[in-house]
Amino acid sequence: MRRLRMNSSSSSNSKKDWLSDHLQKSSNRHGRDIQSVCRLIGIEPGQVRFLETEFGLYLNKTEGNPGLSSFSAEQIKLLQHAHQRLFVDGKSVSDVHRELRKSREKATSSVHIITVTSGKGGVGKTTLSINLAIAMTRRGSRALVVDADLGMGNVHVLTGLAANGSIADVLHGGVDIHDVLIDGPGGIKVLCGGSGVAGLANLDPTLISRLGYQLRSIGDLCDVVLVDTGAGISSQVLKFLQLADDIVLVTTPDLSAMLDGYGVMKVARGSGVKAPVHVLVNHVENEREPETVFHRIHACAERYLNEQPEYLGSMKRDPYVHQGNRDRNPVALMNPRTESVSTLDQLAATLHPKKPIFAKRNKNDMSTIHID
């Protein structure tokens, strides 16, 4: 019997059935309504709602929502599978749950989430996220940048992209993440933010957990996800930190950026965030600045939090980076021979998901990523 395929890449290895072909030809990011779904796969509306109730977690159905208003291609295929197993093959609900859980675990095991955050705005984390994703792609990873600066996203601006939907469409339900990802520069994928969307600024953090599941389920498209959060310690930022396998904390030699960076670490640990924290010092003027900044943050974290953040590296202040932002053309593509791009390549080598992540280093060893 044909097993459920949770991603699109696996279907290319076998002959597509009529439903898969039809969905591929007719799908759009707004999905299909329940009547269309019923006609397409030959089931009753009551059965669809029953399947939603039993398997809402796998359909990304939000709590309290009596029923999805539209269904993506992936959701329709899951409904078809669940209906086949329950009403045709005679399997129990628990059997189908077990199958879907195993499929989800298999699909999510290969995706590595790196949350890029900061305590203070203007430290360059969005620029870093974009260019680091491009550097990772050059090393053979399939990288996705998620603009998680809710309400004020600008990844699409810095990359010169026209948004085809946004994180808001995924968070508020009814749209599958596969339907709103767009191709970005340098071979990366982008999930655009919701710039100027007031409702995102006060988003229920539980919806972010459901987004996390969708991010984990796109192993057919990417190996590594870089989540670019807003600055500060809002409940939304903390939720994105909880999704992370690793956290990159971006700061600068500015005193307020250092203090706010430490503040993020303190609140994150107090909120149960477990992922290791790795400090990147941006906008440095010389070789001594990053050492001073890191040791200050490390000393406070070790003394007051019993925490030992890792040193990831530093980036010098570079006019080519700012020019790339102005031109909406990332420096990693616009001027790949610059010192900043060389540093980004070293950072990508450290963060590359196909290699050991963040090998333990001596906290006093500042030479791992050295800029001459």
Full pLDDT tens readout for the chain, 372 residues: 333 333 434 443 443 344 444 444 444 444 678 888 888 888 888 998 899 888 887 776 555 555 666 777 778 888 889 999 998 999 999 999 888 877 766 655 579 999 999 999 999 999 999 999 999 999 999 999 999 988 778 999 999 998 878 888 888 766 788 889 999 999 999 999 876 565 666 677 778 887 888 898 888 789 999 999 999 999 889 999 999 999 999 999 999 999 999 999 999 999 999 999 999 999 999 999 999 999 999 999 999 999 999 999 999 999 999 999 999 999 999 999 999 999 999 999 998 755 434 333 344 443 333 322
Q: Could you tell me the CATH number of the domain that includes residue 163?
A: 3.40.50.300
Are residues 234 and 248 both part of a single domain?
yes
CA atoms of 84 and 78, how far apart (whole Å): 10
Residue 224, strand partner residues: 112, 143
How high is the pLDDT of residue 247? 97
Are residues 220 and 117 both part of a single domain?
yes
- Residue 125 resides in a domain: yes
- Evaluate whether 95 touches 203 at the Cβ level (below 8 Å): no
**Domain end: 107, 126, 159, which one?**
107
- Residue 362 resides in a domain: no
- Residue 198 resides in a domain: yes
Positive/negative CA dihedral, 273, 275, 279, 283: negative
At how many degrees (to 10) do helices 205-216 and 235-243 cross? 20
**Domain end: 72, 107, 142, which one?**
107
pTM more than 0.75: no
Are residues 186 and 227 both part of a single domain?
yes
- Evaluate whether 117 touches 247 at the Cβ level (below 8 Å): yes
Largest alpha-carbon pair distance within the chain?
69
- Residue 359 resides in a domain: no
Its domain, for residue 34, covers 15-107
Contacts of 3 by beta carbon, 8 Å cutoff, 6+ apart:
103
- Evaluate whether 262 touches 302 at the Cβ level (below 8 Å): no
Are residues 287 and 311 both part of a single domain?
yes
CA atoms of 80 and 84, how far apart (whole Å): 6
How high is the pLDDT of residue 174? 62
CA atoms of 222 and 45, how far apart (whole Å): 34
How high is the pLDDT of residue 269? 96
CA atoms of 154 and 333, how far apart (whole Å): 18
- Residue 93 resides in a domain: yes
Query: DSSP for 300-325?
Result: HHHHHS---PEEEEEEE--HHHHHHH
Are residues 224 and 172 both part of a single domain?
yes
Query: CA separation (Å) from 331 to 20, 86, 225?
Result: 40, 53, 20
Query: Taking CA 255 as the corner, what is the angle to CA 251 and CA 257, rounded to the nearest 5 degrees?
Result: 30
Are residues 51 and 190 both part of a single domain?
no
Query: CA separation (Å) from 223 to 7, 9, 243?
Result: 13, 13, 15
Core vs surface per residue 1-26: b (16+ CB within 10 A) or e: eeebbbbbeeeeeeeeeeebeebeee
Are residues 149 and 224 both part of a single domain?
yes
Antiparallel, parallel or unpaired: β 246-251 and 112-117: parallel
Q: Retrieve residue 364's tokens.
A: 């006093």
* Number of domain units in the chain: 2
Are residues 217 and 250 both part of a single domain?
yes
Are residues 77 and 132 both part of a single domain?
no
Positive/negative CA dihedral, 362, 282, 142, 169: positive
Are residues 103 and 118 both part of a single domain?
no
Are residues 243 and 123 both part of a single domain?
yes
**Domain end: 107, 131, 155, which one?**
107
- Residue 6 resides in a domain: no
CB atoms within 10 A of CB 205: 14
- Residue 206 resides in a domain: yes
Q: Retrieve residue 344's tokens.
A: 């980004």
Contacts of 53 by beta carbon, 8 Å cutoff, 6+ apart:
none
How high is the pLDDT of residue 39? 87
Are residues 94 and 132 both part of a single domain?
no
- Residue 10 resides in a domain: no
